Chains A and B, each alone.
Chain A
Amino acid sequence: MHHSLSLERRALLRAATLGGLGLGLGGLFPAWAQSGTAGLAPTLPTLSGEDINLRVGHSPFTVGGRSGHAITLNGVLPAPLIRLREGQNLRLNVLNDLDEDTSIHWHGLLVPFQMDGVPGISFPGIPARGSFTYEFPIVQSGTYWYHSHSGLQEQMGHYGPMIIDPKDVDPVAYDREHVIVLSDWSFFHPHQIFSKLKQEGGFFNRQKQTLLGGREDEMTQEERMMFARMRMDPTDIADVTEAAYTFLINGHGPRENWTGLFRPGERVRLRIINAAAQTIFNVRIPGLAMTVVASDGQNVRPVLVDEFQIGNAETYDVVVQPSDDRAFTFVAETIDRAGMGRATLAPRMGMTAPVPPLRKRPTLGMKDMGMAGMDHGAMNHGAMNHGAMGQGSMDHAAMGHGSAAPAAAPVMDHSNMNMRDASKVTFPVGVGVDMIAPNPVDRTGDPGIGLEDVGHKVLTYRDLVALTPNPDKRAPTRAIEIHLTGNMERFMWSIDGQTLSENPEPIRFELNERVRVTMVNDTMMTHPMHIHGHFFEVVNGHSGDHPVKHTVMVLPGGKLSFDMTADAPGDWAFHCHLLYHMHAGMMRIVKVRPLKGEAA
């Protein structure tokens, strides 16, 4: 009953024809990603079954009338949709046609450690001209994806979607479904991008504050001086921007305008995957509210929103029900609002809806410096909305901080605050750490940078409630605190001040141990943090029904806790899913012991 995809027959035929044609001409889009697709259907070519073959190779890729060099799977970008069923077994034969090592990580899938696909942690990697067979049972359902974990191949097209249908009844009801893979494509080689970032951290930012520039920012003079004193750029929201990127939706640029079809009145399930290398998106469909029904493949109680921010590697399933016979624009605006991915949902091919202009570029504020809670007295910054106050007339001293005002001496002068207080942390605060958040707060109730005041409902992590109670009822027996650290100017990124290249002590868990992990973001960037091999429960106030995720964004200057059961023996990666942050060293190895078969 739930899988009755009532498809418009003609549209389906047309899509199938297009798909066939595309493949026949050596087109780079898999059928599900063809523009004008009627949606996912059994008749469309997807990879399924128990034996799947994938070939990693080089392909040309064309977008916006320009052609570049891509690394693809089976010759298509994004990679083929792999559709599976919970409970089945799976064998994936991967052939590497490249002249360098490759790998595939099954993002969000619970697999034995040696099948997780991270070279140097789970396995040796797939050598040039070599092959590797992944084999594991499918023990879950939902929307996932897969991508290379070798070098910077993910930036070049090595990613694709993966859908697992539940073995039982799907609690989400829908009439039609589309997969929507968001990504960022560049005609620069990723090594060139990384090199530019090391040479000039703000290289790709073309929205800096200027003396004569048109965009005025709602910042107080105090804030401006504070940022300048700290050598921090309040417009440094995204490292790599539209200056280097074309934002893709299912491999289509804004001009190509990928179009997914629907019939008015249908419930359309959109499986949205952020497969971008370095881009966090704000997703909305003007005129159409979205009911979020799953996050990271895990069902949540339905939440109606107008917009949500999606970090790299996160997935959201939303259900929309367009009732009118008109087109809707699917907008994936980048977090820095310098560019957007654009697609269309329409009853018929060729229909379009207006594309909204880019919204005003946001700036970072005090909260992003980890100073949100510096006034514990009667007032707080969050409510004061610094941005709207204007004119630097703020005198903190005059505002009467309560007795709880910490260490701020008689006058709460932010400009004298120690923004790099090494006594707050247990690791050495060295060159790679340009800030220690003075007072990081839980930001699960915040919608993300720039979305505080957009005039409609934006999802926050606090809105997410697991559909079914969290299975492990035990309270965590211990906590660990992990600091996300960096140096914006030198483009250094680390965890607890150390890059992976420095060979830091791994994060160790005992098998089945229940731990609360608190991540403190000592930087002014949003970091989508991902742990391999495990799901975790984001501590957001819905105790017992915490949303279950594999990747979670920690907002600048904030902190976030999750509870996890270390139930997967082996070695696993834990890292920031911004590709260039990981490449710069923002990664750790997690070890869960004892291994299977060992005595405890």
Chain B
Amino acid sequence: MKRLSIALLATALATPALAQHQGHHMPGHSMPMPKAKPKPKSPAATPKPAAKKPVSRTKAAARPAARARPKAPPKKASAKPVGKPTAKAAPKPAASAKDPHAGHDMEPATLSRPAADPHAGHSMPQGTASSGQDVQQADPHAGHDMGTAPAPQADPHAGHQMPMADAPPVAPPPAGAFSGPEHAADTVFGPGQMASAREKLRKEHGGMTTYKLLVDQLEGRIRSGRDGYRWDAQGWIGGDIDKLWLKTEGEGAFGEAVEQAEVQALWSHAIDPWFDLQAGIRHDFRPDPERTHFVLGVQGLAPYWFEVDGAAFLSNKGDVTARIEVEYDLRLTQKLILQPRIEFDLAAQDVPELGIGSGLSSGELGARLRYEIRPEFAPYVGLEYERAFGSTADFRRAGGEKAGGWNLLLGVRTWF
């Protein structure tokens, strides 16, 4: 065997004829075909009704019970009436060298064919021509209405008709498919090397750990009385299904001690395409006295794009409370987004030392208008009405506060 070893060499020239590799089958490259067999035409083939659903839907993974499979390939080669010439044969001259679209060589033999296609021009060795009219494609644009579809098609745009009329049954693989070594490459490179490569392959295709840190609210709150501030942030790290999820929020007034501050550490488990079940611990550093809660919640995206976060809390003092937040991103432009938001706090009992009354204890209704300088960084302005209800309101009034009021919000939303 002669070998050309210089890389930067003429390519189209002089490639030595080498022994033909025989292991592979080359579809579509049987040209030129000296004696193409005429295509089996069986006009008698019964036109099948519209694509039937396969009978059995056995999972491919199931091992077959010794399934007898005919060794010889079926004689009938997808026999269907093929290609009756289309009605709209273009009234143009047969392909000639002057045809601007002819990209293909016309050998003399081809010219004898009734080449109605103005763009036809592949050199067709004689053999093919003898296979009859069924290779004709009268119009390159007529690809849609091929004669193979037996049913008359009133509507060329209808997507219903399947060109695959006679589908074979869905079936598990034959027994031979399970023979031999499980991993082919082990036979060449050894199982040791391949095992670690396989492990890496698996991890690289779906097994990655990702993360996100979102500071949803970092804002000053301008209101009657002393102005305040609030933060609300969360972050997660993990895979698609299970994540470690951390949340923190808190607020206070400038110049005073922090009024409220909490941190949650949750295990988050995806329970459907849009929702996660979350369970873990919440600790309130403020107010005094501190509390620790067990948390059970659901967070996700509800139909119509509502972002929902609801959780129930059981404190170390046995108090049960709950919180529900719903927000929605109303996209005004690609960068300007109005986010209405509502939050309710509920309690199952009075917790006088924390100023919480049973029932609906407090609520917030507001909207933040943010401008995404980058999607990850958006300053915002907002307006929010916050108030306490029921005995919670009474607790507040008793402490010399108002039950509720308006807040003008100025803040930043960021994530990475």
Check B181–A595 contact: CB distance below 8 A. Answer: yes
Check B207–A382 contact: CB distance below 8 A. Answer: no
User: Which residues of A sit under 8 angstroms from B20, Cβ to Cβ?
Assistant: 87, 137, 139
Give A220 to B78 CA distance when docked, in angstroms.
43
> Is B5 at the interface (CB under 8 A from chain A)?
yes
The segment from A48-56, A60-68, A273-281 found at the interface with B is A48-56
Check B15–A598 contact: CB distance below 8 A. Answer: no
B238 to chain A, nearest CB (A): 10
Check B185–A380 contact: CB distance below 8 A. Answer: no
User: Which residues of A sit under 8 angstroms from B103, Cβ to Cβ?
Assistant: 172-174, 267, 269, 291, 293, 302, 319, 321
Q: Mark A448-479, 1 if CB is under 8 A from B, else 0.
A: 00000000010010111111111111111111
> Is B17 at the interface (CB under 8 A from chain A)?
yes
Check A49–B135 contact: CB distance below 8 A. Answer: no
> Is B100 at the interface (CB under 8 A from chain A)?
yes
Candidate in A43, A208, A427 with the most chain B CB atoms within 10 angstroms: A208
Check B157–A383 contact: CB distance below 8 A. Answer: yes
> Is B80 at the interface (CB under 8 A from chain A)?
yes
User: Which residues of B sit under 8 angstroms from A514, Cβ to Cβ?
Assistant: 73
B353 to chain A, nearest CB (A): 40
In the complex, which of the residues B25, B161, B199 contacts A471, with contact meaning CB atoms closer than 8 Å? B25
Interface residues of A in 378-428 (CB under 8 A from B): 380, 382-383, 420, 426-427
Q: Mark B158-180, 1 if CB is under 8 A from A, else 0.
A: 11111110111111011111111
Check A50–B184 contact: CB distance below 8 A. Answer: no
Q: A110-B24, A431-B241 are in contact. Are A208 and B331 (CB under 8 A)?
A: yes
In the complex, which of the residues B15, B61, B184, B415 contacts A571, with contact meaning CB atoms closer than 8 Å? B184
Candidate in A139, A474, A541 with the most chain B CB atoms within 10 angstroms: A541
> Is A47 at the interface (CB under 8 A from chain B)?
yes
> Is A351 at the interface (CB under 8 A from chain B)?
no
Interface residues of A in 195-222 (CB under 8 A from B): 195, 198-200, 203, 206-213
User: Which residues of A sit under 8 angstroms from B332, Cβ to Cβ?
Assistant: 210-212
In the complex, which of the residues A434, A535, A584 contacts B28, with contact meaning CB atoms closer than 8 Å? A535
Give A525 to B215 CA distance when docked, in angstroms.
31
Check B143–A231 contact: CB distance below 8 A. Answer: no
Check A541–B148 contact: CB distance below 8 A. Answer: yes
Give A518 to B290 CA distance when docked, in angstroms.
60
Check B74–A475 contact: CB distance below 8 A. Answer: yes
> Is A347 at the interface (CB under 8 A from chain B)?
no
User: Which residues of A sit under 8 angstroms from B3, Cβ to Cβ?
Assistant: 49-51, 89
> Interface residue count for B (Cβ, 8 Å)?
141
Check B205–A462 contact: CB distance below 8 A. Answer: no
Closest to A213 in B: B333
Check B171–A478 contact: CB distance below 8 A. Answer: yes
Check B208–A194 contact: CB distance below 8 A. Answer: yes
The segment from A182-190, A328-336, A500-508 found at the interface with B is A500-508
A318 to chain B, nearest CB (A): 8
The segment from B114-122, B244-252, B387-395 found at the interface with A is B114-122
> Is A441 at the interface (CB under 8 A from chain B)?
yes
In the complex, which of the residues A171, A210, A380, A471 contacts B26, with contact meaning CB atoms closer than 8 Å? A471
Check B11–A494 contact: CB distance below 8 A. Answer: no
> Is B223 at the interface (CB under 8 A from chain A)?
no
User: Which residues of A sit under 8 angstroms from B170, Cβ to Cβ?
Assistant: 478-481
Check A51–B5 contact: CB distance below 8 A. Answer: yes
A534 to chain B, nearest CB (A): 9
Candidate in B8, B156, B184, B201 with the most chain A CB atoms within 10 angstroms: B184
Check A48–B185 contact: CB distance below 8 A. Answer: no
> Is A489 at the interface (CB under 8 A from chain B)?
yes
Residues of B within 8 A of A (CB): 1, 3-13, 15-21, 23-33, 36, 39-40, 54, 57-61, 69-70, 73-74, 76-78, 80, 82-83, 100-105, 117, 119-123, 128, 131, 135, 137, 140-141, 143-144, 146, 148-149, 155-164, 166-171, 173-185, 187-189, 193-194, 196-208, 210-212, 240-241, 270-274, 301, 303-305, 330-334, 336, 375, 415
9 contacts between A and B (CB under 8 A): A212-B332, A373-B159, A382-B157, A383-B155, A431-B273, A442-B164, A479-B54, A570-B185, A582-B205
